[in-house]
């Protein structure tokens, strides 16, 4: 095992990794920007290195500064968390060139999987089903129109280098396609420095189901079951649960088996997630592979009892996988919601500000991952995630009730600060959601309808 790990992230995930390292007897160092000088991670780490100002590109996206910090503190490995440089193959290669272990897949594997077109081609060779559409990037609006005419509308235009819900446009009619194609290419170039896009059929009334994997560098791999992440706003998840509800056991096992086969075919190592779209007839289609720990990993930990960050550290240190597939025995139901500092009534616009009150919930089988505290200044510089509230119960109905109870207890307030808690309560009240019969269109449906009395009462 490593003697010291540098944590190249911030917020709740920096704390999550720091705690896992502590539990394994590994010393920690964190990097931080000037905006995070008073953060909990900086206070709790064995060492902390300031790497730049608040702007991400000059701090948490500054690969040279992070590597220099790791060398300065004598770290053997770098944990990137999620977001920022966590799926940047160039950063992983820079780490390797400087004698640092990047806690994630090899750079060459990350490079292939980060490119959606090459990942689709690789997964097709592994036998995974893909949505109808182009595998290679489409070079022109005319070529995009040919693909769309073949697969049928609606279609979605996606950036080959996209991620995090960015770089995609849904197109309902042929008349919209030329402009959408040009707009998506321009947005992809601005966001990713790569304007290549591909076109595939947009599956309406589909569910977003993903599979958690652990793979080592010795050719071993296990899946840890499914998660449903269909409750999304702007392709960003709000509520996640494990296992995926209202999915037949046969389909769930088939999705998990496909995910593991695809990851092993790609040479994946570490903790990763394979994402699928599942239609109303339980036909499933590969979306992408995430080469990092996911925000929603706690729900898998709660139903399996497996600490995913511990496993990341063991795998990166070269230890053979400590689990066989028959050892993985999911039990019960876990549901997580993200508490973002956003105003759902204004298009989920961020509402930064100082937290005058901050009391997270407690109680049995209730987990809160957060970096917030009373007096914390939630700034405008980074993403709006404040906390994750996850609960476990033997069955889904009790898990839903437990999450509602936890959200009732969560007290967070400050001048101008709004959170997504009232909107999550609307999700939990939805009849289709309560039955486990919901799709990626749920958030739009709720936004289009009037706020219910429950929502008004908790604003």
Q: Which candidate in 10, 292, 338, 426 is catalytic?
A: 292
400 phi-psi bin (left φ>0, alpha ψ -120 to 50, beta other): alpha
Question: How many residues in the chain?
Answer: 459
Task: Please give the structure tokens belonging to residue 325.
Answer: 């597939």
Cα–Cα distance measured from residue 168 to residue 13, given in angstroms and rounded to the nearest whole number? 26
3-state secondary structure of 434: helix
CA–CA distances in Å: residue 383 to residues 12, 42, 358, 395: 11, 18, 19, 32
Nearest to 350 by CA among 375, 376, 386: 386
Q: Radius of gyration of the chain from Cα atoms?
A: 21
Cα torsion 386, 400, 445, 149: sign? positive
DSSP characters for 173-214? SGGGHHHHHHHHHHHHHHHHS---EEEEE--TT-EEEEEEEE
Cα–Cα distance measured from residue 432 to residue 442, given in angstroms and rounded to the nearest whole number? 9
Nearest to 159 by CA among 105, 119, 207, 203: 119
3-state secondary structure of 222: strand
Nearest to 428 by CA among 323, 307, 336: 336
Q: Is 292 a catalytic residue?
A: yes
Task: Please give the structure tokens belonging to residue 22.
Answer: 């502590």
Nearest to 268 by CA among 224, 311, 219: 219
**Residue whose tokens read 């490995």:** 77
Pairing of strands 47-52, 207-215: unpaired
The residues carrying an active-site annotation are: 292
């Amino acid at each position: 095992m490593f003697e010291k790990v540098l944590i190249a992230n911030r917020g709740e995930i920096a704390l999550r990794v720091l705690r896992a390292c502590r539990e394994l007897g590994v010393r920690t160092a964190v990097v931080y920007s000037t905006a995070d000088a008073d953060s909990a991670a900086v206070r709790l780490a064995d060492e902390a290195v300031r790497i730049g100002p608040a702007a991400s590109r000059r701090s948490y996206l500054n690969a040279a500064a992070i590597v220099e910090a790791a060398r300065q503190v004598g770290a053997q490995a770098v944990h990137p968390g999620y977001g920022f440089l966590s799926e940047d193959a160039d950063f992983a290669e820079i780490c390797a060139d400087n004698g640092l272990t990047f806690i994630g897949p090899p750079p060459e594997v990350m490079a292939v999987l980060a490119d959606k077109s090459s990942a689709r081609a690789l997964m097709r060779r592994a036998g995974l089903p893909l949505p109808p559409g182009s595998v290679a990037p489409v070079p022109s609006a005319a070529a995009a129109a040919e693909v769309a005419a073949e697969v049928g509308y609606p279609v979605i235009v996606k950036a080959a280098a996209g991620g995090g819900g960015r770089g995609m446009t849904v197109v309902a009619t042929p008349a919209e396609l030329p402009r959408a194609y040009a707009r998506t290419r321009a947005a992809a170039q601005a966001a990713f420095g790569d304007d290549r896009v591909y076109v595939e059929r947009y599956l309406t009334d589909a569910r977003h189901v993903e599979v958690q994997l652990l793979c080592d560098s010795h050719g071993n791999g296990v899946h840890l079951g499914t998660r449903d992440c269909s409750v999304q706003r702007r392709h960003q998840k709000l509520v996640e649960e494990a296992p995926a509800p209202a999915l037949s056991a046969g389909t769930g096992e088939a999705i998990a088996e496909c995910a593991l086969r695809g990851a092993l075919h790609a040479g994946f190592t570490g903790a990763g997630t394979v994402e699928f779209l599942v239609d109303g007839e339980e036909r499933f289609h590969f979306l992408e592979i995430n080469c990092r720990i996911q925000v929603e990993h706690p729900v898998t930990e709660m139903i399996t009892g497996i600490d995913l960050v511990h496993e990341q550290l063991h795998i990166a240190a070269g230890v053979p996988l400590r689990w066989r597939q028959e050892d993985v025995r999911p039990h019960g139901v876990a549901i997580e919601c993200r508490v973002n500092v956003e105003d759902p009534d204004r298009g989920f616009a961020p509402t930064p500000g100082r937290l005058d009150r901050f009391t997270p919930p407690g109680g049995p089988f209730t987990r809160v991952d957060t970096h917030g505290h009373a007096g914390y200044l939630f700034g405008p510089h980074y993403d709006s995630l404040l906390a994750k509230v996850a609960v476990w119960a033997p069955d889904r109905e009790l898990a839903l009730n437990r999450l509602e109870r936890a959200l009732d207890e969560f007290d967070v307030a400050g001048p101008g600060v709004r959170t997504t808690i009232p909107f999550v309560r609307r999700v939990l009240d939805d009849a289709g959601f309560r039955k486990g019969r919901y799709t990626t269109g749920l958030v739009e449906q709720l936004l289009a309808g009037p706020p219910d009395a429950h929502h008004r009462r908790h604003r």
